[in-house]
Every structure is written in C-alpha cells, then in structure tokens.
C-alpha cells in the first residue's frame, strides 16, 4: 500500500469503506429509504478514488451508483463525479477539519439526461461515523434537500 | 451474472477487459508511449461501467486513469467520465455497427483543473481488437490528435 500523497492528506479522513443508510426526498418523487456502500481509496497519487452504490431498503433493488475523484488544493476540496444517469458534477468547497462542504461548479448533461442544475454536498466525519446531506436543484425544482445519510467506516 | 439490459445492447461490443498500448502526442508535451488496461462491465442495468488505467511504457509509472458510464439511446451513444485531473466529460455520438464516434457535449472543470475545451473519441472493435483515437482541444491548443491505441480483449 502506497503512502497517502501529502497533497491529498487534508482529505485523508474520508478514506475507507463505509456502510449505512439514508433517506431521499424530492417534490417529484415518493420519499424513499436506502442502504449505501461507499469506498474511498488512494494509490499514492494526489487524489482519492470514490465509488458509491445504493440499494432500496427492504427490497435491495439497486438505486444509484456514482464514481469519481477527490482532489485537494490547500484547504479547498474538489470532487468530480460521473453518474449513469448521464450527469457529471464538478464540485468545490472548503475543508474544515473533518468536514467538507461542496457546491457544484459545473454540471454536465448527456443529451438524454434529466436536467440537474445545482448540487451541494456536505460531509462530516466524526471518528468512524460519516454524515452527509445532498441538496439538489433539478427538473424545474428549486435547490433543496434530496438525501440525508449516516454511514459507518467498516474498513480502513 | 445478470443479462445485458436490452437498452444497452447496441454497445455490448465494448464489454470486456482490454489490454494494449498506445502513443500520446500534444504540442505542449513530449511524445510518450503507454500501456493501458480498460474494463467495461455491466450489472443488468441500462448502462455500462467503464474504468481505464495507463502506465508509462518501460517504467510502469502510473499516467492516467478515468472512470464513467456508457449509455445508449437507440443508435446514439452517451459517455460520462470523471478524471482525477479534475475534468469531467459528457460525450455523445452515433453507434455504427461495432464503432462509435463521440464528441464532447459538455466538459466540466474543477477550479484547479487544466483547461480542456473539446474532446472526441473514436472507437472501433473488430473481433477482440479495439482501436481508438482521442482528439482534444486544451490549454490553448486547437482540437487535434492526442492519443492512439490498440487493445486486445483478454476477458469477456
């Protein structure tokens, strides 16, 4: 295992495999509950690799997955993501201890993707517990809460 | 293993693990040769998951990696990608048999990413051989050839 690159050390608190559950709300859909697994790793380079999968609570049907990379520029974090919904996100925002608050800088849409206009991701890690919220302005709706989840680090 | 979702079947020719080598050129850098591994898989949903890694030929030093998802809308392909350089790409273009020609629709840049303006990816599969070229307009340079590689399918 390579050492963590010093440029990405401010985001080292995100490393690990995380499992937990969350809830989703949005005006255009029914509320839902989900189980989630997140893996955030590194290969000694100045970025972290991120992948996420969610399943519907109860049925286990796959819901969402996304993948991307974390970068750090001093006390600012950057996150780029691709989603199988045909959406890309480039986000940025401040790192504050073991919290990070990201807002979308640019959202890319493949021609048949649903319209996503803004996203915001707030993540706080306390020991082996991660809590995040995701806000989104999409499909004609104002920017608002979409996801809220709490995960536990199950592996470093 | 889930069956391939019919919506993504037009891109089924991309599935597999691919290995090979390529060359890179660009006015702002020295020419380079690289070894590459690409994995394109699915989980029964209407998209393919794509991940790629390259290493410098000879030294084996890691060069580039990227990850994303393929989608199909009839005879049109869509590809969304995240890169640890802080760049996202949303591309689209026609599927012609076992070839696909994609041009960037939207490119997203994290605040500290180098400027990429246009990309174009042309991929042809003939049996177990994949050939691709990647063209790019970036860092003030006109749109032009950047990568050319030939890969062999080593696993389905």
> CB A110 to CB B79 under 8 A?
yes
Residues A145/A146/A151/A155 CA torsion (nearest 10 deg): -120
Q: With contact defined as beta carbons under 8 Å apart, do A68 and A82 qualify?
A: yes
Q: For residue B68, give the chain A residue with the closest CA.
A: A82
- The β-bridge relationship of strands A62-73 and B99-109 is unpaired
Q: Count Cβ atoms below 10 Å from residue A37 Cβ, excluding itself.
A: 16
Question: Are the beta carbons of B136 and B25 closer than 8 angstroms?
Answer: no
Mean pLDDT for A59-65 is: 96
Q: How far is CA B152 from the centre of its chain?
A: 15
Pick among A60, A70, A78, A90 to test the B interface (most B CBs inside 10 A): A90
pLDDT greater than 90 at residue A29: yes
| Successive 10-residue mean pLDDT values, chain B, 156 residues | 94 98 98 98 97 97 97 97 98 98 98 98 98 98 98 97
ipTM of predicted assembly, 2 dp? 0.97
Nearest CA among B14, B131, B22, B148 for reference residue B77: B14
Distance between CA B23 and CA B13 in Å, rounded? 24
**What is the distance in angstroms between the Cα of B98 and the nearest Cα belonging to chain A?**
21
> What is the pLDDT averaged over residues A121-135?
98
- Numbers of helices and strands, H then E, in chain A: 0, 10
User: What is the bridge-based pairing of β-strands B16-26 and A144-155?
Assistant: unpaired
Average pLDDT, chain A: 97
Q: How far is it, in rounded angstroms, from Cα A148 to Cα A137?
A: 15
Give A-chain residues touching B73 at CB under 8 angstroms: 111-112
Q: Does residue B88 sit at the A interface (CB-CB below 8 Å)? A: yes
Asked if A132 has any chain B CB less than 8 Å from its own CB, the reply is no
**Could you tell me how far CA B81 lies from the centroid of its own chain?**
8
- Taking the C-alpha atoms of residue A151 and residue A154, their distance in angstroms, rounded to an integer, is 9
- Measure CB to CB from residue A110 to each of B65, B78, B83 and give the nearest one: B78
Nearest to A108 among B49, B106, B112 (CB): B106
Establish if A103 touches chain B: CB-CB under 8 angstroms.
no
Q: Name which of A51, A62, A88 is nearest B108 (Cβ-Cβ).
A: A88
Mutate to test the interface with B, among A7, A46, A60, A82 (most CBs of B within 10 A): A82
- pLDDT score recorded for residue B43: 94
Q: Which two tokens stand for residue A132?
A: 């995040």
Size of interface A-B (CB pairs under 8 A): 127
Find, among A85, A77, A92, the residue nearest to B90 by Cα.
A85
Computed from CA positions of residues A135, B71, B117, B17, in that sequence, does the dihedral angle turn out positive or negative?
Answer: positive
Q: What Cα–Cα distance (Å) separates residue B72 from each residue in A66, B84, B101, B115, B156?
A: 18, 25, 13, 28, 20
Residue A1 has pLDDT above 80, yes or no: no
Nearest to B53 by CA among B19, B26, B87: B19
Query: What pLDDT score does A92 carry?
Result: 98
Count other Cβ atoms within 10 Å, centred on residue B108: 25
Query: What is the number of residues in chain A?
Result: 156
Q: Is A121 on the interface with B (CB under 8 A)?
A: no
Does residue B20 belong to the interface with chain A, where contact is any CB pair within 8 Å?
no
Could you identify the residue written with the tokens 């009839």?
A: B74
What pLDDT score was predicted for residue A36? 98
Q: What is the pLDDT of residue A49?
A: 98
Structure tokens at A100: 């990070």
**B122 CB near a chain A CB, below 8 Å?**
no
Residue carrying structure tokens 């991701």:
A121
**What value, to the nearest 5°, has the Cα angle with vertex B149 and ends A82 and B5?**
45
Q: Identify which of B43, B45, B80 has the shortest CB distance to residue A110.
A: B80
CB contact, 8 Å: B108 with chain A?
yes
């Amino acid at each position: 295992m390579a050492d963590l690159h010093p440029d990405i050390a401010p985001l080292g608190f995100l490393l690990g495999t995380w499992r937990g559950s969350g809830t989703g709300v949005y005006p255009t859909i029914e509320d839902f509950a989900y189980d989630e697994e997140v893996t955030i790793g590194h290969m000694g380079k100045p970025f972290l690799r991120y992948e996420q999968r969610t399943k519907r609570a109860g049925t286990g049907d796959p819901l969402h997955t996304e993948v991307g990379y974390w970068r750090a520029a001093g006390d600012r974090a950057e996150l780029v993501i691709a989603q199988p919904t045909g959406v890309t996100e480039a986000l940025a925002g401040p790192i504050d201890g073991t919290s990070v608050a990201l807002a979308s800088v640019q959202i890319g849409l493949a021609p048949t993707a649903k319209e996503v206009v803004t996203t915001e991701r707030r993540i706080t890690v306390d020991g082996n517990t991660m809590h995040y919220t995701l806000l989104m302005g999409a499909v004609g709706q104002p920017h608002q809460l979409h996801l809220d989840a709490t995960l536990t680090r199950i592996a470093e």
